[in-house]
Structure 1
Amino acid sequence: MNTYDVIIVGAGVAGLMTAQKLSQIGLRIAVIEKKPTLASGPSTRNEGWLHRGTYHACSIASKDSAYQVARRCIYGHKQLRNFCPEAIEDLDKRPLALLRDGDRIDEVKDRWDDAGVSFRQISRKKARKLIPDANFDRAAGIFLSKDVSINTRLLYRKLVGTARAHGCEFFVAHDVVRVNGMELLIMDQDGVSSTISADRIIYASGAGTRSLYEKLHGKDIPMRYWKSHLVVTRRLAPMGVFYLDPHEAAMMHHGDVSVIGFNEDAVQCESPSYDVVPDRAENLRNGIRRIFPEWRDEAAIDIACVKVDLLESDDNARSLNVAIREPVPGHIVALPGKLTETPYLTDALVGLIHKTVSDPLISERPCDLYTSAA
């Protein structure tokens, strides 16, 4: 039986980045992924939008929550750009953030200042010069932002390569069949099973976490599923364009392609599936036409994505925030929130694992001894 310091179940962005960081501090790591490819879920079904707080600082009603998410995005934006600069696209172009509600311009600018979000307001004339095909008549405020597009596939490739270089092992196309304490029985697609164990097991399996945890531990994780949609089409503009208002389109570009989502589009669903809801997809297409009235693309693709959150209070509001829970000792559930928040999540996980998986080679600090004595 192979023994590891940490086993990570799920190889989306949270699982891959956790594996990379834990491997780099010298821990023996294994990653188990049920699918035959890595990061096949929401980690790749997104706009490829590396946020820098621009949207979240002003779109979340609570100022405290808005600033928290914005600052985590700024933190993640910097870390991801430093880790994988080669994945950043259109470095020489600043996306346009549009605000339809003119009564909120001063409020939004104040929020950006308070959260540390960089922006520069420009005129409609300047915006039309940058993107002649776009309709800016509905935009009361137009701003240049520092959000960027990111090639997530290249990012994940570097995360995997770095983790492997530090000894991480990947079990792709393997299902977790049974748990016994800190041992996992896993099985590949040919029915060949093996047993592996670890000091800690992290479940970073996204929408699959609830059913997996219930199967293995008999515990229900109060998790909800939220479906939203994307359109993939030919490239529509030189730089990214996104509205800050709800029910408007937001797009990022990757080479000759635009990937476009819809603000506040998510609808709660009973179970995770990638089936497209036609009327929701059509709402998004109408949102695209509000910015680009002449847009027509028979080859455009509608895509559904499912994200998850935890229902932890009587407040029914959707919250795709970072979450780390340990319902069963040693078996940790980790949800990343947004792609750009994943560095914050994974740094918190590294700190947690460091405390629980000892390294006798490294001297303890006086404060560690005091904590132990207490």
Structure 2
Amino acid sequence: MDRVDAVVIGAGVVGLAVARALAKRGLETIVLERADAIGTETSSRNSEVIHAGLYYPTGSLKARLCVQGREQLYALCESHGVEHRRCGKLLVASGDAQRRKLAQIEAQAHANGVADLQRLSAAQARALEPALVADEALWSPSTGIVDSHGLMLALQGDLEAAGGAVALRSPVQAVRCGGPLHEVDVGGESPTTLATPLVVNAAGLWAPSVAACMHGLDAHHVPRAHYAKGSYYALAGRSPFTRLVYPVPEDGGLGVHLTLDLAGQARFGPDVEWIAPASPQAIDYRVDPARAEAFYAAIRGYWPELPDGALQPSYSGVRPKLRGAGEPTSDFVLQGPREHGVPGLVNLFGIESPGLTASLAIADAVVSQLWPG
């Protein structure tokens, strides 16, 4: 049985950030990833937006770690040459109900420490984006976009430079907790068992499933998983927008918004489709062309001139949820020894948006869980 200082389960953006933080503390750290590449699920199937921290309840982990992580992420992108852009975002409202919601979001953002928001009239918003139609908008200049794969490669590079490693095609089959060393059974082509004092479960969509395989962790600490699929459509032709455009949020997500990739190509999404996959292989990532009809209706709420036939199915992703349809949105769960009583174990549950933005701050929080004070 091989011994290592730390094992991180999952090589998405959060798992890589956590492993990097542990390795930079001088720990021999191994990341176990069941897939044949890093970041193949939530980390690479999203809007690639660097969020400012507008929406989340004050004092929540999402609010605190998003605001903290945003500046850490921009700094890392600058220092490591990761392609990104502070393009800014317009959060738009039409009608009295949406305008009241916009005012609530503005107050929430200020309470979260987002100090650079600007309220815009319809004319001011249209001066920035002439194709936009809205009664009012919030301008968020600290929102941006990032090359998520480039970010993960940078995190992996730092991890490996500090002596850590990523083991692909290495699914975790069981973890035996409770002694001075946890025993992690690893499958794949060359099955093995690793002994380690530290285990971080950053398995994203499958973190609850991994936790359910941890012998010595009480079952009541394992939450039920919910899955929200979100589809994206690409705009055929040149986009008239140079900034991100978001409607006010909807149940389960942030609404069908307009984002841009680093080449300026516009895409719209995600919508919300609740699914119940039994395994990673059971997820159908195909985008149903029939869902486009609802996209046209949603987008024309702020871009009435969207041409017919302009949306093309692009890609989809799945968000790991801890609450189901119609239930209040949950916070991130960083479950450490204080919560479950197992030394050297941290489970990360429900790490959806703004997980990419918050990834470096989540890593710092995991370190604090393991070494409080």
Q: What TM-score, normalized to structure 1?
A: 0.79
Partner of 2:365: 348
Are 2:136 and 1:141 aligned? yes
Q: CA deviation at 1:244?
A: 2.2
Q: Give the distance between the partners of 1:277 and 1:241, measured in 2 at CA.
A: 22
Larger radius of gyration: 1
- Pairwise CA distance, 1:166: 0.2
Q: Secondary structure at the match of 1:18?
A: helix
Change (3 A) 1:216 1:68: closer
Residue ranges of structure 2 left out of the alignment (5+ in a row): none
Equivalent residue number for residue 233 of structure 1: 234
Q: Which of 75, 78, 83 lines up with 2:71 in the alignment? A: 78
Tell me how far apart the structure 1 counterparts of residues 360 and 298 of structure 2 sit (CA, whole Å): 31
Task: Map Cα deviations across residues 30-66 of structure 1 (whole Å, 9 max, x no partner).
Answer: 0000000101111111111111123x15xxxxx546x
Post-superposition offset of 1:15? 0.6
Tell me the residue number matched to 1:242: 246
- Bigger mean CA deviation after superposition, 300-309 or 200-209: 300-309
Using the TM superposition, give the Cα deviation of residue 320 of structure 1 relative to its aligned residue in structure 2, in angstroms.
4.5
Q: Tell me by how many angstroms 1:108 deviates.
A: 3.8
- Residue 282 of structure 1 and its aligned partner are, at CA, apart by 4.1
The change in CA–CA distance for 1:84 and 1:277 in structure 2 (over 3 A counts) is closer
* 1:79-94 matched pairs, under 5 angstroms: 79-85=72-78, 86-87=81-82, 89-91=84-86, 93-94=87-88
Q: CA deviation at 1:180?
A: 4.4
Cα distance between partner residues in 1 of 2:329 and 2:103 = 26
The CA RMSD over aligned residues, in Å, is 3.0
After TM superposition, list the pairs within 5 Å mapping 1:1-374 onto structure 2: 1-54=1-54, 56-57=55-56, 64=58, 69-85=62-78, 86-87=81-82, 89-91=84-86, 93-100=87-94, 101-117=98-114, 118-132=116-130, 134-136=131-133, 139-145=134-140, 146-181=142-177, 182-188=182-188, 191-217=189-215, 219=219, 221-234=222-235, 236=239, 237-246=241-250, 248-254=255-261, 255-262=263-270, 265=272, 267=274, 269=276, 271=278, 273-275=283-285, 278=288, 282-292=293-303, 293-295=305-307, 300-310=312-322, 316-325=327-336, 327=340, 329=342, 330-335=344-349, 336-337=351-352, 338=354, 339-354=356-371
What is the CA-CA distance between 1:308 and the residue it aligns to? 2.3
Secondary structure, counterpart of 1:34 in structure 2: coil
Once residues 107 and 199 of structure 1 are traced to their aligned partners in structure 2, the CA distance between those partners, rounded to angstroms, is: 45
1:287: Cα distance to partner?
A: 1.9
Letter in 1 for 2:347: V
Tell whether the 8 Å contact from 2:58 to 2:112 is kept in structure 1 after alignment.
no
Give yes or no for contact 1:249–1:260 (8 Å, CA) kept in 2.
yes
Partner Cα separation in structure 1 for residue 336 and residue 109 of structure 2:
31
AA aligned opposite 1:167: G
Deviations 1:228-273 (A, max 9, x none): 313141463211111124274222211142343247x363636462
Structure 1 stretches lacking a partner, 5+ long: 58-62, 356-367, 369-374
Task: Write out per-residue CA displacement over residues 190-217 of structure 1, whole angstroms, 9 at most, x where no aligned residue.
Answer: x322232211111111122233333453
Rounded to whole Å, the distance in 1 between the matches of 2:334 and 2:291 is 28
Describe the SS at the equivalent of 2:301. helix
Residue 12 of structure 1 deviates from its aligned partner by 0.9
Check 1:216–1:173 CA distance in 2 against 1; reply closer, same or farther (3 A cut): same
Seen in structure 2, the aligned counterparts of structure 1 residues 332 and 298 have a Cα distance that, compared at 3 Å, is: same
CA distance in 1, matches of 2:103, 2:246: 19
Q: Distance in 2 between matches of 1:4 and 1:222?
A: 28
2:37 is matched by which residue type in structure 1?
A: T
Could you tell me which amino acid in structure 2 is paired with residue 87 of structure 1? V
How many residues are paired up?
A: 340
